[in-house]
Structure 1
Amino acid sequence: MRSGDDAPRTPAAQEAQAKDLCLRLLTDRARSRAELAKKLADKGFDEDVAVRVLDRLTAVGLIDDASFAAQWVHSRHTFSGKGKRALAMELRTKGVAPEVAAQALGQIDGDDERARATDLVRRKLRTTSLDFPVDGPGGRSSERERTVRRLVSMLARRGYPQGMAFDVVKSELARAGADTEDRPDG
């Protein structure tokens, strides 16, 4: 640990403190091994102490990156409406191995992703006016295209593929009675 700390310097005491820190962090929410390793490094624990503690916590099942990734994907897809691309980026930043992330992302198929995107667009359309003006600068086409771009952008920010996003928006606007025959440029 850092030299300015008043904490005991023995390896056993450092391991106990590192374990306590990890257990406190795991009380808040599940975390990946890499997240815990970073926190321990940030707090000044030696790498060998951190490895021993993380290995022990992994051995008893308190750290499980596969379980963490599956839980993360389910939660963020279901409750935050994130698409697979956004979830993959989040797992990468959490330090989850690509093969573990791919397995967790496999629980979301194309139909699930499309259904969630449809739900997000429907929710947004509840608060969006679809009464596009016929006359005036830009006219009906301009307002409709602006609405399509906004909805497609909302889905893209959440990690949905652009093609799927446009198809979902077009279908939902048609379902809501808006004319979307022309695809906006750009």
Structure 2
Amino acid sequence: MRIAARRSARARTTPASICGSIPSSPPRSKPRYVRLSASPRPAYAAPPPLPPKNRVRRSTASVASVSLRDRAIRLLARREYARAELERRLVGKGGERSEVRAVLDALAAEGLLSDARYASALVTQKAGSHSRRSIVETLKAKGVAREDIDAALGKTELDDEAALSALWQRRFGAAPTDERDKARQVRFLQARGFELSAILKLLRGVEGRS
């Protein structure tokens, strides 16, 4: 306790001149930032323009003809077409009739389009499942000329009675169970072009054997 009292008394008796003689530390100066002036960028000359491409522009009619030809060839690659049928198809897709006919003339000259070949293919396809009359009517509706129809029919032997019997056997193979079933069979066979009298004759024979 005595030591603490002596220290406090000594502190009170310290002259103010001594405190004032102690030099104070100078204040810190803030760092100065020097703004550097941006050096001017060197000027670059713009690159010379590229030379224009030499593009060959085809006329609208030429482009349309090429498009029609490609479309016609794609259709013919799937199956045979009659000329009139293919013309209706291309005109229905927006082709000009005069341009379509010019394209079809070229395809016919190249042997890619043939009504005679189409008629032969259709007769071969429908023989045995359609009557002769039905096949002829289908070819006429497709716009095939009569001489091409006769030539195609002459290459394939068509027997309506044999075709009717074979078709009924493949489709049904059993006598009708009732009048409703009989009417259903008759409608189907008539839709293939067979005469009603021939159909009823066939069914009477089938019912007589059952």
- TM-score, normalising length: structure 2: 0.62
Percent identical among aligned pairs is 29
Letter in 2 for 1:58: A
Q: How does 1:1-186 map to 2 (within 5 A)?
A: 9-78=59-128, 81-107=129-155, 109=157, 112-126=159-173, 143=178, 147-174=181-208, 177-178=209-210
Question: Greater Rg, structure 1 or structure 2?
Answer: 2
Provide closer, same or farther for how the CA distance between residues 127 and 167 of structure 1 changes in structure 2, counting only shifts above 3 A.
closer
Q: Distance in 2 between matches of 1:117 and 1:71?
A: 20
Which residue matches 2:6? none
Q: What is the deviation of 1:154?
A: 2.3
Greater helix content: 1
Q: Count residues with an aligned counterpart.
A: 154
Structure 1, unmatched stretches of 5+, are 1-7, 131-142, 179-186
Q: CA RMSD in A?
A: 2.6
Give secondary structure in 2 for the equivalent of 1:121.
Answer: helix
Give secondary structure in 1 for the equivalent of 2:127.
Answer: helix
Q: Distance in 1 between matches of 2:193 and 2:156?
A: 13
Q: What is the deviation of 1:99?
A: 3.5
Higher relative contact order (CA 8 A, sep 6+): 1
Structure 2, unmatched stretches of 5+, are 1-57
Q: Deviations over 1:117-169 (max 9, x none)?
A: 10122234435565xxxxxxxxxxxx3x5555443332111101222222222
- TM-score, normalising length: structure 1: 0.69
